[in-house]
A and B are shown apart, each in its own frame.
Chain A
């Protein structure tokens, strides 16, 4: 089963290796990982999408907590949360397909952020399912290159982690 976990860590030298190494060393799976500093520059927030049964998930949570550099682990399993991923998609834009690409973009509330005579670069944000859907629709036009950020998540409602 797919699980999303946020980890707040000390924004220090080598901390990414500690987290990544923990996953590889213990045979846990990482589907995606994104990381950036929070409002407090001494803290980074990682969003990790992983998979495994309840026992594995419990170990992942505990092992992450055990790292000295881990300040907080938030497991979104069973929680109501907002999940967003961004993709930049470089798609072939011929005379015949340009209008269709713009229409698809519109439907997904995407934007064309770079244009050349033969190519559009589309920016789209949404849940991973939505990003998958636009990729599927653009594929027939010819995707030249694509990058996905991996999801970032926040819990719904007013509660926040110390405002960070």
Chain B
């Protein structure tokens, strides 16, 4: 039986196991939306296409499945760009379907035409313009395969309107044939053996864990490796929640706003074991003083990440979970040596404990002003263990990373690579759509929140009970902090001078709003909000000029941290 392109698309999505998609209709996807009415797929109508992609991204990060978003051609498609770039930088598996003008009009500057394949080429893992309905099923199969395998990433399918209307025999392929795409899954055993030897003789090892550990769902294997070796673990922002922050071996986050002890441990280590991390500039600081005494083992599924920014002594390309399993197996064969190695690490742990005591991760509390860090700590105390936390980008994001103790993987969703303000609310929307019963909390600042605040409407419409924390300092806080420290307090355009009544805003959308202006109100507001059934904004009037510390100034080494600011 022959099906139309739009029916083939929806049938294929069902066969890929897609249950929820996020999108926004328009002229060139109207056929798909018509067929959606009879489909088993649930569609969430966001209020902006950017939010649809972030929501699919939040869904993907929380579940580990491929997120799907849909938008119309031209402006609908260009609105998806920030969402796609966000997913690309953090290696999140997405399939984004965009409408396109009919093939006969492509290149004619037709109404609502944009060259989306050209625009998205550098921010997708791959993209397709479908020019023949007979190729559609194969392309969808390939798109999902490419999105979720190897180093995951977003794939765009640009689907002209006439291809949606044309008919073809529908046969969904069982296998994928891509002669140019064969990601390495299995780590080289000889390299793993070499790595294990290096681990057993190291006196000051550090495990440096990135987002790859989450993507590979390697948290259990990571825990086994860390505990067997008794090696301290530091994570990047993206690796956060892959290793419990309260674990005795955890050093918290490293890098620009990392803990003093994590950065000191990396700087003084003799073996740095990088697991699914890519030595981002926010992590390394000045490259020439980064881990200067360490041999570096780098495990990554993407060969381009290896030796891109730093020299590597032992590269291992492969799926992190597979490599860690092999490492753990090898270590189990050397039980005596492992125990011995644990003993030799005692002085190293003493040294780290010294740094921890010298500069613990803390802040100056206040009885009169709400400290943003205090709100984060209270939230951790009152939220459930499996609560999914999303953030926007800025000071609140760093305070969340520093003070919210994560215990379970895939519970921290944040735009690390691109640093997208406006990510958190729609990402929370997507995560809540995937897990209606779990607590989902967006931690935001007053600046970031306003970048996608229209999604309050989506939350209310679909009864998605996302809780929103706004740490309101009436500033674009992170930029203000830089201006204070490096631009002589010249606060150019960082003061959000118009005070927004976020409570009224919430109410305008049919949501609830609660406000705390004094420290003694914080706990009650959080308790009340978490107990309410629908979406709630919690606005906290926080101390306005609080800074994120420690801080490694741009271009400085990890050992040159600014520990406190005036």
**Residues on the A chain within 8 Å of B181, using CB:** 68
Which of B121-129, B209-217, B346-354 lies at the interface?
B121-129
A63 and B304 in contact (CB under 8 A), knowing A68-B146, A70-B180, A71-B180? yes
Closest to A26 in B: B122
Please measure, in the bound complex, the distance between the C-alpha atom of A66 and the C-alpha atom of B307, giving whole angstroms.
15
A32 at the interface (CB under 8 A from B): no
Min distance, Cβ A46 to any Cβ of chain B, angstroms = 13
B302 touches A (CB below 8 Å): yes
Q: Is the CB of A59 within 8 A of B180?
A: no
CA distance A71 to B302 in the complex (A): 17
- The answer to whether B308 and A59 touch across the interface, beta carbons within 8 angstroms, is yes
CA distance A9 to B181 in the complex (A): 11
Is A21 an interface position by the 8 A CB rule? yes
> Residue on A with the closest CB to B118?
A17
A21 & B304 in contact (Cβ 8 Å cutoff): no
Report yes or no: A59 in contact with B304, Cβ–Cβ below 8 A. yes
Chain A 51-90, CB within 8 Å of chain B: the 1/0 string?
0000100110011011111110000000000000000000
Whether a CB of chain B sits under 8 angstroms from the CB of A161 is no
Cβ contacts under 8 Å, B304 to chain A: 59, 62-63, 66
List the B side residues contacting A13 at CB < 8 Å: 129, 131
Can you list, as one digit per residue, whether each of B99-136 has a CB less than 8 Å from chain A (1) or not (0)?
00000000000000000011001100110010100000
Asked, given contacts A62-B303, A62-B304, whether A68 binds B180 with beta carbons under 8 Å apart, the answer is yes
Q: In the assembly, what is the distance between CA of A71 and CA of B121, in Å?
A: 18
Once bound together, how far apart are the Cα atoms of A126 and B181, in whole Å? 35
CB neighbours of B126 from chain A (8 A)? 68
**Residue A163 CB within 8 A of the other chain:** no
Contacts of B178 in A (CB 8 A): 68
Work out how many contacts link A and B, with CB atoms closer than 8 A: 35
Asked if B564 is an interface residue, CB under 8 A from chain A, the answer is no
Interface size on A (CB < 8 Å)? 20
The count of residues in chain B whose C-beta lies closer than 8 Å to any C-beta of chain A is 18
C-alpha spacing A62/B308, complex, angstroms: 10
Known: A9-B180, A71-B179, A71-B180. A65 touches B118 (CB 8 A): no
Give residues 10-68 of A contacting B (CB, 8 Å): 10, 13-14, 17-18, 21, 25, 55, 58-59, 62-63, 65-68
Q: A25 — which chain B residues lie within 8 A by C-beta?
A: 122
Q: In the complex, what distance in Å separates the CA atom of A106 from the CA atom of B338?
A: 75
Complex CA gap A63/B181 in Å reads 13
Most A Cβ at <10 Å: residue of B125, B126, B180 = B180
* Alpha-carbon gap, A9 to B117, bound state (A): 18
Asked whether, in the complex, the Cβ of B308 is within 8 Å of the Cβ of A21, the reply is no
Q: Complex formed: what's the CA distance from A10 to B180 in Å?
A: 8
Contacts A66-B302, A68-B125; A58 near B180 (Cβ below 8 A): no
A17, closest chain B residue (CB): B121
| Residues in B304-355 with C-beta less than 8 Å from chain A | 304, 307-308
Q: Would you give the shortest CB distance from A7 to chain B, in whole angstroms? A: 10
Taken together as a complex, chains A and B put the C-alpha atoms of A10 and B118 apart, in Å, by 18
Partner of A21, one of B122, B129, B302: B122
> B180 to A69, Cβ gap below 8 A?
yes
The answer on a CB contact under 8 Å between B125 and A14 is no
Give B264 Cβ to nearest chain A Cβ, in Å.
28
Q: How far is the CB of A104 from chain B (nearest CB, A)?
A: 45
Contact A14 B117 (CB under 8 A): yes
In-complex Cβ contact of B121 among A9, A18, A70 (8 A): A18
Residues on A with beta carbons closer than 8 Å to the beta carbon of B179:
71
Point out the residues of chain B lying under 8 angstroms from A66, CB to CB.
Answer: 302-304
In the complex formed, the residue of B with least CB distance to A9 is: B180
Task: Please give the distance in Å from B121's CB to the nearest CB on chain A.
Answer: 5
A25–B303 Cα distance when bound, in Å, is 18
Closest beta carbon of chain A to B356's beta carbon, Å? 36
Residue of A10, A25, A66 with most chain B CB atoms under a 10 A cut-off: A66
- Name the B residues within 8 Å of A21 (CB-CB): 121-122
Q: For residue B310, give the distance in angstroms from its CB to the closest CB of chain A.
A: 10
Cα(A63)–Cα(B125), bound, Å? 12
22 contacts between A and B (CB under 8 A): A10-B180, A13-B129, A14-B117, A14-B121, A14-B129, A17-B118, A17-B121, A18-B121, A55-B307, A58-B307, A62-B303, A62-B304, A63-B304, A65-B303, A66-B302, A66-B303, A66-B304, A68-B125, A68-B181, A70-B180, A71-B179, A71-B180
Interface contacts beyond A65-B303, A68-B125: sample of 15 additional A-B pairs, CB < 8 Å, sorted by A: A13-B129, A14-B117, A14-B121, A21-B121, A25-B122, A55-B307, A58-B307, A59-B308, A62-B303, A62-B304, A66-B302, A68-B126, A68-B180, A68-B181, A69-B180
User: Which A residues contact B (CB, under 8 angstroms)?
Assistant: 9-10, 13-14, 17-18, 21, 25, 55, 58-59, 62-63, 65-71
Please name the 8 residue pairs, one residue from A and one from B, whose CB atoms are nearest each other, closest first. Answer: A62-B304, A68-B126, A71-B180, A68-B181, A62-B303, A25-B122, A70-B180, A71-B179
